[in-house]
Amino acid sequence: MERSTSSTMNQLTRSLTVNVKILTDYLTSAGHPLPSFAPDTPTFTLPGNASSEAHLARYRILDLARNLFHLAAGPSEYLTFLQTSYQDIGCLRWLCHFGIFRLVPLQGAISYTDLASQANVSEVKLKSIVRMAITNGLFIEEPPNHVAHSARSALLQMNPYFHDWAAFAMDAGAFSAFSMVDADKKWSGSVDVSQTAFNFALKTDLPFFKYMGEEPERNRQFAGYMRAVTSGQEVSLNHLVKGWDWNRLGKALVIDEGQMGGSTGHASIALARQYPELTFIVEDLPEVIAQGPEYVSSQEDSRSLKRRVSYKAHSFFDPQPVQDADVYLFRTVMHNWSDDDSVRILMHLVQILKPRARILIMDVVLPDPGTLPASKERLLRMRDLSMLQIFNHPERSLQHWKTIFSRVDRRLQVTRVEQPAGSVLSIIELGLEEPMEISGSLGEEII
C-alpha cells in the first residue's frame, strides 16, 4: 500500500511540475507577474485574455495540489481538516463584522493591542482569531505581536466589493448552507421559493429578492457581492463577447433581457464596443431602465454608445414588444427562475421569433461528473447548492435545459452549446427548427 501511495504521489508531483511550468512560462511570456503572497500581487493569477492552455494548466495545478494534500493527510485527517473550514468561516465573519480588514494599515503593521483598542474588541479573542486566519492566508504577523496585510487580506481592504462579498457570504450564504437540514425537516419536499434554507437561516417568509428589497444594508452588501463576482474572470463579459460568433449577424438588433431589477446594459455596452454593426435594446423594470441613459453617459465613448444602445421598460413575463430582433439574450438570468417561470418567459419569445432569429442563454450548464477538472466542477456544484439553498431549484444540466425548451415548443431546439475557455458559464443557442444534432463542445477539455 505504501509503495502504491508513493508511486501515486510521485506521479502527481511530476504532473504538477509540468503544469506549473506551462503556467509560469505563459505568465512570463505575457508579461504578467508570477503568483505571489505579497500584498501588491495581482488580483487574478491569469490575465483576462489568457490562452485555454494556461487556464487548463491552472485548473490542473489546483486539482493536483488538492490531491497531494489529501494523500498526505490520509483518511484519518479528513474530519480534522474539515473542522478548520468552519472555523475559517467563523473567523472571516468576525473579522468583517468588526472592521478588522480596514483597521490594519496597507503599509506597515499594527500591534494587537492597538488593533483591539480601535476595534473595541477583546485583545485575547482578536489574537486567537487573527492567528487562525493567518493559517488560511489572511494577514501575516510581522513583526511579532503585530498584524500586517497579506495578499488576500489586502484585497478585502482595498476592494469594498470583495469585502461585501465576504460579509454577505458569511452572513447569508454560510448560514443557508448550514440550514439545509432544518429547512428539509420543516418543509420536506417543498419547492416553494419562500420555504428554503435561506428562509430558515434568515428567519424570513419572504422570497430572496423581496427580502433584499426590504433590507437596505443586506441589499447593499449583495449588490457589492454581485459586482465582485461579475468582475471575476470566470464570469467575465469577455466570454460573452468572444464566446459566440457575433460577426455572422452583420447588421442586427439584439434584445438584452434584464434580470428583473439588475441590468443597466453592461453586456450590451461590452458587445457594442466590439461589434459596430450591432444595435441593442436593454429591457428591464422601469426603475432600473431609468438609470440606463445616465450609465451610458458616464462612459468615455458615450457618444458612440448612445447611437446603438437604448433602453425599454419591460417585464419578460409580459408579451415581448420588440418582434423583429435577431437575437434575444439572457445572461445569468434564467437560473434565478423556476422551470415553470422559465417556460413562461420563453413562450413569449417563441410566439414572435422571426425566421433565423436566435435566443441566447448564457448560464450554468452542469457537467456530467468527472468531465471537468475537479476544482472547476466544485465551483459549479457550489453554485448548484447555492441555488437550491436560496431558490429551492438547482442549476441545470444540458438535459434539464432541453426538457424546459421542449415544454415551450417542440421546435425550440438547441443548435449549439459553447463553454468559453476560462468561463464557468456556457452559451446555449436556440432556434425554431426541426430537431437536429447539436454542434459545439461541452466536455473535459472545456474549462
Per DSSP, the chain holds a count of helices (H) and strands (E) of 21, 13
How far is the C-alpha of 81 from the C-alpha of 26, rounded, in Å?
Answer: 33
How far is the C-alpha of 20 from the C-alpha of 26, rounded, in Å?
Answer: 10
Nearest to 289 by CA among 324, 317, 264, 252: 264
How far is the C-alpha of 382 from the C-alpha of 23, rounded, in Å?
Answer: 26
Residue 301: phi, psi to the nearest 5? Answer: -100, 35
Residue 390: phi, psi to the nearest 5? Answer: -100, -40
335 is catalytic: yes
- State the first-to-last Cα distance of the chain, in angstroms, to the nearest integer: 34
**Exposed e or buried b per residue across 245-274, where buried means at least 16 C-beta atoms within 10 angstroms of its C-beta:** ebeebeebbbbbbbbbebbbbbbbbebbee
How far is the C-alpha of 227 from the C-alpha of 161, rounded, in Å?
Answer: 6
- Per the CB < 8 A criterion, the answer to whether 441 and 252 are in contact is no
- Per the CB < 8 A criterion, the answer to whether 346 and 359 are in contact is yes
Active-site residue, selected from the candidate residues 149, 239, 314, 335: 335
How far is the C-alpha of 329 from the C-alpha of 278, rounded, in Å?
Answer: 13
Query: Which region holds residue 265: left if phi is over 0, alpha if psi is between -120 and 50, else beta?
Result: left
How far is the C-alpha of 255 from the C-alpha of 283, rounded, in Å?
Answer: 7
- Per the CB < 8 A criterion, the answer to whether 424 and 438 are in contact is no
Residue with cell 450590451: 268
Residues marked active site are found at 335
